[in-house]
């Protein structure tokens, strides 16, 4: 199910559709130019469920900004009558969930059939334009117990007035500040993507009704072979892949203790080899230092968490050199 909840804006697909329209509106686009850049009816949907989510999110956004049109209203009516989401929610989560989705659709239908009395004003965002560091910068810092550490800026997340710095963690720890060569020869904290052949088997099985499965000779053997082949393929493809464990710090917070860092150089990172994984949000320098002073304990606690097999990962150290561009 490609959504997180029954509401109109409730999940990645709905939020992506809604936010793209709102961002275009805030940047000064007209109804015509928005529809040119974000066509209606929506494109690129996976199935009827996905399509309903996109159509209703589109309608919600256009109603809020005062651009709702008859064709959008007519298409909302059609997808509501088709009932793809209500059917899916009912089958997968029960009648209560299906009724909850229907209630949200009824509210939307009532809303879009009347003009919006309070059209959303265009917002201007104070975007960060002067950055504290650059991607590939290697930062050294010292803890209160005189230990020196190093982090590397792998990426920056920028959206509207948000700017977050995404650092990966190295295992450098010394009584002296690191050199760039020492960091290059150090290790980075990460984990390999979890493997689950069951995922594809379940997805394929979902394509068949129970009656069809009964009529397929050797269906179970076929699915088991698919699962085995997929598992072997994934193990081969992910053998060299790692997801980086990150430290995320917002621009606003980082400004408060930017003087605690020394930029000792840059690493020539290969973007094609960088895959960002889960992150730890840090709000002040004391929290950062505490995290590094107790890093091995954090790793152990993370690895000992009880999780389903298809979500279980093991944090470990990998050579940083595998993330660098090949030197010719």
- Residue count of the chain, please give it: 328
CA-based nearest residue to 52, from 25, 21, 88: 88
Residue in the structure block whose two tokens are 């660098």: 324
Q: What is the pLDDT of residue 241?
A: 81
Exposure of 171 by Cβ count < 10 A (0-12 exposed, 13-18 middle, 19+ buried)? middle
Q: Is 261 helix (H, G, I), strand (E, B) or coil?
A: coil
Q: Do the Cβ atoms of 114 and 23 come closer than 8 Å?
A: no
Q: What is the pLDDT of residue 198?
A: 47
SS (H, E, C) 82-131: HCHHHHHHHHHHCHHHHHHHHHHHHHHHHHHCCCCCCCCCCCCCCCCCCC
59's tokens: 């309608």
Q: What is the pLDDT of residue 218?
A: 60
228's tokens: 């085995």
Positive or negative CA dihedral for 3, 315, 305, 149?
Answer: negative
Ordered per-residue pLDDT tens for the chain, 328 residues: 545 689 999 989 999 999 999 999 999 999 999 999 999 999 888 899 999 999 999 999 999 999 999 999 999 999 999 999 999 999 999 999 999 999 999 999 999 999 999 999 999 999 899 999 999 999 999 998 899 999 999 999 999 899 999 999 999 999 999 999 999 999 999 999 876 544 444 445 444 444 454 555 565 665 566 555 555 554 444 445 889 999 999 999 999 999 999 999 999 999 888 899 999 999 999 999 999 999 999 999 999 988 887 778 899 999 999 999 875 4
CA-based nearest residue to 62, from 28, 103, 104, 34: 34
Helix (H) or strand (E) holding 280: strand 276-281
Helix (H) or strand (E) holding 163: strand 162-174
Q: Give the domain ranges of the chain.
A: 12-112, 137-193+241-323, 197-238
**What secondary structure does DSSP assign to 176-206, as a single string?**
SPPPHHHHHTSEEEEEPPP--HHHHHHHHHT
Q: Say how far apart CA 187 and CA 316 lie, in whole Å.
A: 9
- If one counts every other C-beta atom within 10 angstroms of the C-beta of residue 92, the result is 10
* Residues near 73 by beta carbon (within 8 Å), at least 6 away in sequence: 59, 112, 113
* Residues near 18 by beta carbon (within 8 Å), at least 6 away in sequence: 9, 57, 58, 60, 61
Q: What is the pLDDT of residue 17?
A: 95
pLDDT in tens, 268-295: 999 888 899 999 999 999 999 999 999 9
Q: Is 166 helix (H, G, I), strand (E, B) or coil?
A: strand
CA-based nearest residue to 125, from 25, 21, 11: 25
Half-sphere exposure of 163 (CA within 13 A, CB side): 17
326's tokens: 């090949």
């Amino acid at each position: 199910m490609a959504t997180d909840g029954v509401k109109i804006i409730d999940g990645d697909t709905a939020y992506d559709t809604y936010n793209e329209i709102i961002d275009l509106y805030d940047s000064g686009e007209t109804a015509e130019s928005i529809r040119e850049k974000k066509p209606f009816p929506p494109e690129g949907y996976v199935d009827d469920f996905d399509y309903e989510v996109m159509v209703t999110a589109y309608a919600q956004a256009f109603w809020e900004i005062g651009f709702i049109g008859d064709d959008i209203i007519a298409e909302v009516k059609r997808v509501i009558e088709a009932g793809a989401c209500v059917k899916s929610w009912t089958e997968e989560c029960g009648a209560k969930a299906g009724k909850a989705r229907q209630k949200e659709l009824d509210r939307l239908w009532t809303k879009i059939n009347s003009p919006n009395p309070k059209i959303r004003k265009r917002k201007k965002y104070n975007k960060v334009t002067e950055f504290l560091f650059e991607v590939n910068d290697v930062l050294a810092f010292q803890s209160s117990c005189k230990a020196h550490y190093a982090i590397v800026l792998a990426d920056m997340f920028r959206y509207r007035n948000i700017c977050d710095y995404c650092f990966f963690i190295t295992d450098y720890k010394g009584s002296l500040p690191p050199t760039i060569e020492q960091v290059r020869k150090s290790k980075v904290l990460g984990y390999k993507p979890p493997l689950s052949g069951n995922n594809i088997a379940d997805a394929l099985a979902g394509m068949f009704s129970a009656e069809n499965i009964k009529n397929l000779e050797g269906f179970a053997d076929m699915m088991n072979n698919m699962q085995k082949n997929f598992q072997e393929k994934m193990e081969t493809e992910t053998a060299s892949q790692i997801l980086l464990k990150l430290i995320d710090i917002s621009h606003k917070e980082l400004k408060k203790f930017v003087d605690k860092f020394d930029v000792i150089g840059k690493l020539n990172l290969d973007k094609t080899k960088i895959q960002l994984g889960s992150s730890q949000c840090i709000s002040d320098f004391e929290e950062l230092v505490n995290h590094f002073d107790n890093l091995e304990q954090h790793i152990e606690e993370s690895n000992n968490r009880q999780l389903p097999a298809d979500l279980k990962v093991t944090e470990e150290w990998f050579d940083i050199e595998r993330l660098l561009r090949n030197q010719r």
